[in-house]
Amino acid sequence: MARPTLEIVAARAAVSRQTVSNVLNSPHLVRPETRTRVEAVIAELGYRPNRAAQTLKTRRSQLVGARIEPPRDGINRVVLTHFLHALTSRAQLQGLRVMLFAADEDRDEIGQYEQLLEDHDLDAFVLTDTHVGDARTAWLAERQVPFVTFGRPWGALSAYHSWVDVDGGAGTRAATTHLLDIGHRRIAFLGWPSDAAAGDDRRDGWAQTCAAAGIHDERLDVRVPEGLEHGRAATAKLLDLADPPTALVCVTDSLALGVWAEVTRRGLRVGRDVAIVGFDDSPTAAVIGLSSAAQPMDQAAAACLELMHTVLDAPQPAPTPPGPVLLAPQLVLRASTARD
């Protein structure tokens, strides 16, 4: 009943250890006839190779590292959990496992890389939450550690790696187009100050769509810091205009919830009087009925793994990093954009 080893399987199939190994790793080397015989024994005994032994010998662990973010503001960050789930779920189908680690800032994270690489021979990392001047990508690239980022390399420089990201502009474009379709003409955008590149990306989608429809009003392009309260305050100003907007596209759900709060505070009806679209499709949005542009986490995870395989199989250093992959968000329509 003890766990079978290569040796056991070999004995049972009347071949040598190595032949069994070959059946598993280099089937072309072994005669079809013996191969099926060995495979039968493998199945019969339920043999599975011992990863520790493999790792020891090959320096490959079939493990990818992923950081679990500390719970912060609570709204937008939550969707990363979906990504993590999708990643884990897909990875395990391919025999890969996801090893978690926690880190508070980039420097901690790099420390974790070191430990994980040394202790557990991790094969690769998946990074999220990339930002301008990201020290992590440089560190990994320098050491030729395979990795893929979910989030594009914002800093432009040293963008030399594989990445997957969601096309923010496409999301706001879809949102704005839909609002135009259902008759809105005065559509505002609540975005971040322009030091956040991701925000500009999303703003552009709105701006372009409005421009294409021949609509333009500087006053409807609002920049506020992240956070429900900021969203609320900005909305108050907008609704006080002589010709207030009838719809608002927001760079995040947090801001959209701020809009929601102010709209209901004034006794206006969300959807009917004022349409709201958020971004990220957080659980909160789903619960209260806020339309939102959802990031396709399943696709993102799948794309990351695909790129990762390419990176892992490529010679190091790879001539060209595969990718990038840019995914379109999906607009999820709920009560906040329903006219009745």
Partner DNA sequence: ATCCACGATTTGAACGCTCCAATTGAACGT
Partner DNA sequence: ACGTTCAATTGGAGCGTTCAAATCGTGGAT
Query: Considering only residues 287, 315, 317, 320, which one is a binding residue for its own copies as defined by CB under 8 A?
Result: 287
Q: Specify whether the CB–CB gap between 152 and 132 falls below 8 A.
A: no
DSSP H stretches of helix in the chain: 6-13, 17-25, 32-45, 51-58, 79-93, 106-120, 135-142, 168-181, 197-212, 228-239, 253-265, 283-288, 297-313
Question: Could you say which of its own copies, DNA, none residue 246 binds, taking C-beta under 5 to 8 angstroms by partner kind?
Answer: none
291 lines the binding site for its own copies (CB under 8 A): no
**Among candidate residues 116, 114, 109, the one with its CA nearest the CA of residue 131:** 109
The residue (of 34 and 81) whose beta carbon lies closer to DNA is: 34
DSSP codes of every residue in 195-215: T-HHHHHHHHHHHHHHHHTT-
Q: Report phi then psi at 26, rounded to 5.
A: -140, 65
CB 292 within 8 A of CB 263: no
Each residue 256-285 as x (binds its own copies by CB under 8 A) or -, in order, gives -x---x--x--x--------------xxx-
Which of residues 39, 69, 129, 217 is near its own copies by CB under 8 A? 69
Q: Which stretch binds its own copies (CB under 8 A): 55-63, 150-158, 272-280, 306-314?
A: 55-63
Calpha distance 276→293 (Å, rounded): 11
Stretch that binds its own copies, among 81-89, 125-133, 135-143, 217-225 (CB under 8 A): 81-89
Binding of its own copies by 25 (CB under 8 A): no
Question: Of the ranges 77-85, 144-152, 172-180, 313-321, which one interacts with its own copies (CB under 8 A)?
Answer: 77-85
Q: How far is the CB of 122 from DNA (least distance, A)?
A: 15
Alpha helical stretches, state H, 167-252: 168-181, 197-212, 228-239
The least CB distance from residue 18 to DNA, in Å, is 4
CA distance 69 to 9: 43
Q: Contact, 120 vs 52, CB < 8 A?
A: no
Nearer to DNA, 30 or 251 (CB): 30
Residue 5 engages DNA in binding (rule: CB under 7 A): yes
x/- track of binding to DNA for residues 18-57 (CB under 7 A): xx-xx-xx--xxxx-xxx-----------xxxx--xx-xx
Residue 2: strand, helix, or coil: coil
What the block records as the tokens of 31 is 């005669």
Q: Which of 199, 198, 200, 218 is nearest to 210 (CA)?
A: 218
List interacting residues with DNA (CB under 7 A): 3, 5-7, 14-19, 21-22, 24-25, 28-31, 33-35, 47-50, 53-54, 56-58
List interacting residues with its own copies (CB under 8 A): 3, 48-53, 55-56, 61, 63, 66, 68-71, 73-75, 78, 81-82, 84-85, 88-89, 92, 97-102, 112, 115-116, 118-121, 228, 254, 257, 261, 264, 267, 282-284, 286-288
